[in-house]
Amino acid sequence: MNYELNNCKYLSRNYKGLGSAGNKAKTDIEKIMDSMGLGNAGLRQTTYNNKLAHFFLTLAGVIKSPFSLKRGDTLLLQYPLKKYFTLVCRMAHMRGARVVVIIHDLGSFRRKALTPEKEICRLNHADYIIAHNDSMKQWLESHGCRAMVGTLGIFDYLSDTQAAKNNSSEDTRTIVYAGALSHRKNTFLYRWGEHISSFKVRLYGNGFEIGKAKGADKFEMMGFVKSDELIATARGHFGLVWDGASEDGCTGDWGEYLKINNPHKTSLYLRCSLPVIIWKQAALAPFVSKHGIGLCVDSLKELDTILPNITQGQYACMKMNAERIGNLIAQGHFFRTAFEEAVRRLDEKDNEK
């Protein structure tokens, strides 16, 4: 372990089950911190769904945390921590510790739970923030964030399961789309079929009413599959990252959020060794392009022309790159690198004083 990380800790908490993508990302980060030899400043991780148990266990961990810290320590917090965030930051600073925050969700975007001003005011209690990507970093800084800001790149996705080796052996190009398939978030699915003739779409999840979809014969319903099973069994050529009402672009609040957010399903697709198809204006599009792990498009209507013209060699290159990034994601590489950079930059700042 690097000497700089000897005095680093994280705050665990109670998670209401592990089925959601958000909780998966947070518990993965705790596992990575454990693997780096870092201690838990709070109580041990629990997964009680009971609201009362959730409240008291999280509160007890928050109260315990300052007594686990000393001057010069670095505490990692996962944001949002709702009502406790400002309190924990203040208590850590009173103990002479520094606070590094990794953002999972911004309440001022999708949920509109906060105004941007209130969100930035809250985040300014941190010493260093790990944003999802450069777009989120720019948004934070342009709205008055005073903390140092770094970037994650992409979320890690821990799993001992190995991706299927023959998941793209079919002759017909197939796009995988996984997640909650409710109409509210996936309206585009109901119109997309009329623009598909050269490929098919395999849907993993519940909530899609295929009888109401145009071009229903282009969709294959696989039902809900747990993530580990999906990694082992997913069949297709690409994983799709798309949200909202329109096949011509990711519109509305979901689209605006994609412009700064790292969707966790991108990491899941890469763990499946699937290259991704993503909206060209999404914040993750530069990452996809830089690493050669998929296609960036303005509209899903383009795919009927693009996919048939991809050569076997071009696809093999994307596939190899997806497997490479997927292996790094499986090892916790991106969070580990971002956190080590945070500690290094804070050390440099402290040494300048």
Question: What confidence category does residue 41 fall into, taking pLDDT thresholds of 50, 70 and 90?
Answer: very high
pLDDT digits (tens, 9 = 90+) for 325-342: 999 999 999 999 999 999
Of 54-58, 220-224, 304-308, the one with minimum mean pLDDT is: 54-58
Whole-number Cα distances in Å, 97 to 35, 66, 81, 102, 127: 22, 9, 18, 16, 10
pLDDT band at 1 (very low <50, low <70, confident <90, very high): very low
The confidence score (pLDDT) of residue 4 equals 61
DSSP state of 4: G
Is 174-330 a domain of CATH 3.40.50.2000? Answer: yes
Note the pLDDT of residue 19. 61
Q: Tell me the fold of 3-156+332-352.
A: Rossmann fold (3.40.50)
With 0-12 / 13-18 / 19 or more C-beta atoms within 10 angstroms meaning exposed / middle / buried, residue 329 is buried
Give the pLDDT of residue 165. Answer: 77
pLDDT band at 3 (very low <50, low <70, confident <90, very high): very low
pLDDT at residue 21, rounded to an integer: 61
- Please indicate whether the domains covering 3-156+332-352 and 174-330 agree at the CATH topology level: yes
Asked whether residue 353 carries a pLDDT value surpassing 80, the answer given is no
Count Cβ atoms below 10 Å from residue 310 Cβ, excluding itself: 15
Residue 56 is predicted with a pLDDT of 81
Q: Give the global pTM.
A: 0.94
pLDDT of residue 25 exceeding 80: yes
> With 60 as the cut, is the pLDDT of residue 2 above it?
no
Q: Is the pLDDT score of 31 beyond 90?
A: yes
The answer to whether residue 130 scores a pLDDT higher than 50 is yes
Return d(Cα 85, Cα 126) in angstroms, integer. 9
Instruction: Provide the pLDDT confidence category of residue 58 given band limits of 50, 70 and 90.
Output: confident
Instruction: For the chain, give every domain's residue range.
Output: 3-156+332-352, 174-330
pLDDT of residue 111: 75
How many Å apart are CA 248 and CA 300, to the nearest integer? Answer: 6
CA atoms within 13 A on the CB side of 64: 16
Confidence label for 71 from pLDDT (cuts 50, 70 and 90): very high
Closest residue by Cα to residue 4 from 326, 239, 351, 262: 351
Weakest-pLDDT range from 37-46, 47-56, 184-193: 47-56
pLDDT digits (tens, 9 = 90+) for 220-271: 999 999 999 999 999 999 999 998 889 999 988 888 899 999 999 999 999 9
Mean confidence (pLDDT) of the chain: 92
Residue 11: per-residue pLDDT: 95
pLDDT of residue 261: 95
